[in-house]
Chains A and B, each alone.
Chain A
């Protein structure tokens, strides 16, 4: 886990997206954390189950495991009576639903079905001569029925079928679910949001990258939002 900023006051916990997008956005997330620290706000970037230095391999994780990991990451701060705000990038918005947060801030949130479409396209691209089934494409038809379904390899990640099934019906937390939720998207994304900002969709790039002006802009938005929540 990476920590930034002061040891007191409200703290921001960042949820990176699932799978390869986490690698592409990690440096960007660190830039946001540093910018928040410069604004006097504490921030943390936890490694979730199945990510980074986690001892639990991804192929043994369900959405529940990963979301529980995010909740555990903020437990110490919560027990110390610090107000905790979740900042989720992309499908990270699917991982903050178990955490006891004083507010949720989502950047370009991606729902589970959309992520599944991405994963299916990537899987299909890796095996162009084998057409994937319309539904349940991630189950191996040759696997014996009396054994647990084997994990699926997608772009170098081994992913459990349980996690993929979870994703097929998972959506981000919204204000209708309760609490404070703010959504920010890029101005190239026509989906509804509280604010649209200019910037690069780093998660689409083949290699990890950064967008420091965007990181600063988002950190300012987060800081202003937290200040409003704290009043």
Chain B
């Protein structure tokens, strides 16, 4: 069983990546079109996500641990590799900059009643950004045998990022999301590799400690690729100039 701290940290960080985008969308919609409809839309999105997490959790929990680890490991590995690659490319290109706020039209806001545009924008923002997290949190939690903790990590991320966004405007958009994406991509790729191979019957020589070895290997690869990408970008800039 994977340690509680590792489960909490990984799901907290993974959820933070998407929570940043969610909070930026809801804050942007709320500030320009009104808070009531934006917050009701966001709350409705979270209710739908909770239902998805419950259904998915029950479904995955019914699968025996061996095949489950191959399935979930492969899933986390493939998804983690996408964030790993995107994180490398973005950190190499943009460094540690945050994300831009979305542009929201504010010309047709109704004077009273529900603003369905704000509702839908917030709802879609929460559901679309949260769906990936729901899949990661459930698959990671079930595989680690700690679904409850995994959900706690995700909820904590949304609360912390959301609270920070409301209390300190501008802070959330300055969080270096690309770096966070790279860190989470490295974590998910490492855990995905570990669980998928364990599910295939591979016995890791140092048991759970080999997850750290995988983190180091993937981390070193990321640092090397960032260096190579930066050199390439620098050469292209010189050729253009």
Do chains A and B interact in one complex? no
B residues contacting A by CB (< 8 A) are none
A residues contacting B by CB (< 8 A) are none
